[in-house]
Amino acid sequence: MKMTIAPSRKEMGIAAGRCGEELLVSLLAAKETVRVIMGSAPSQDDVLGYLKASKKIDWSRIEVFHMDEYIGISADDKAAFSNYLDRTLFNTLKVKAFHKILAETKDPQAVCDEYSKLLLAEPIDVVFLGIGENGHIAFNDPDMADLKDPLAMKIVSLDDVCRMQQVHDGCFKTFDDVPKQALSLTVPTLMSGAHLVCTVPTAKKNKACLRMIMGSISAECPATAMRLHPDCNFFMDNESGRGVAEFETVETVLGAK
């Protein structure tokens, strides 16, 4: 795992953005279509902002998936994760395809099945993600996560820490407003990407970062699965990375087997 601790959130975003840009440009030089999965949360604002401003990326050859969606939320709802990506990127960028998880449905399992088919049609090249305050990736909270999950996508229940994080992130006004269930890509689906770019800012994520880097690899902290990935690029700012290292940049392998 390659780890970068930047002296500020802005510099973290630049470092992660450059990493993502280099990966996408290199992949586009080697293949006609690049397939990516993107996280949809305020933690991704900085890296996505950098990618949006890049003049080097041919977005018309990039196929985009996102990680999760609240069950019962319309894609037009401001709280919808697909809406976040529309506002953040695709209001100006024209991609080859943006596959939205349409979770306002009476049959969420059918949505999982159909989206899984799209995901599994070809390999995923890059995954842009963060980690939650409880150590989740996508909506794989500790109680729901399975590091060897046989499914590509599933229905999940959100734990209280996860739901409160949505309030902290400004996505909902109150805890009770946050939906209790969602559709989420599973841990193995996220880890199937050839390259990971994980961006985790702010002090609220410091404990999760420490657990992810120093704790045992298990579903108790689903993000620890990234330590087993062959190309995980992990970016923190000075707050989320506090206690991890004294240096601005560290490249090391921690716990990989």
User: Model's pTM, two decimal places?
Assistant: 0.91
Tokens representing residue 226 in the block: 């990234």
Helix, strand, or coil (residue 63): strand
Residue keyed to tokens 């229905």: 155
Calculate the CA dihedral of residues 70, 17, 48, 233 and round it to 10 degrees. Answer: 0
Q: Is residue 91 part of a domain?
A: yes
Q: Tell me: the pLDDT tens digits for 26-66?
A: 999 999 999 999 999 899 999 999 999 999 999 999 999 99
pLDDT of residue 166: 84
What's the domain count of the chain?
1
Model pLDDT, residue 135: 95
Residues 252 and 257: their CA atoms lie apart, in Å, by 13
pLDDT of residue 113: 98
H helix runs in the chain, sequence order: 9-30, 45-53, 81-85, 108-120, 160-168, 187-191, 206-214
Nearest to 61 by CA among 39, 93, 101, 20: 93
pLDDT of residue 245: 65
Per-residue CA distances from 153 to 37, 74, 144, 167, 205 (Å): 13, 19, 12, 25, 25
**CATH number of the domain enclosing 121:** 3.40.50.1360
Token pair, residue 176, equals 């009770």
Asked whether residue 256 is assigned to any structural domain, the reply reads: no
Helix pair angle (45-53, 9-30), 10° resolution: 50
Residue 148 has which token pair?
């060897």
Domain presence at residue 251: no
Q: Do the bridges between strand 249-251 and strand 2-5 make them parallel or antiparallel, or are there none, so unpaired?
A: antiparallel
Judge whether 190 lies within some domain: yes
In a domain, 252, yes or no: no
Parts of the chain with a pLDDT under 50: 246-257
Domain with 112 in it: 2-245
The verdict on residue 169 lying in a domain is yes
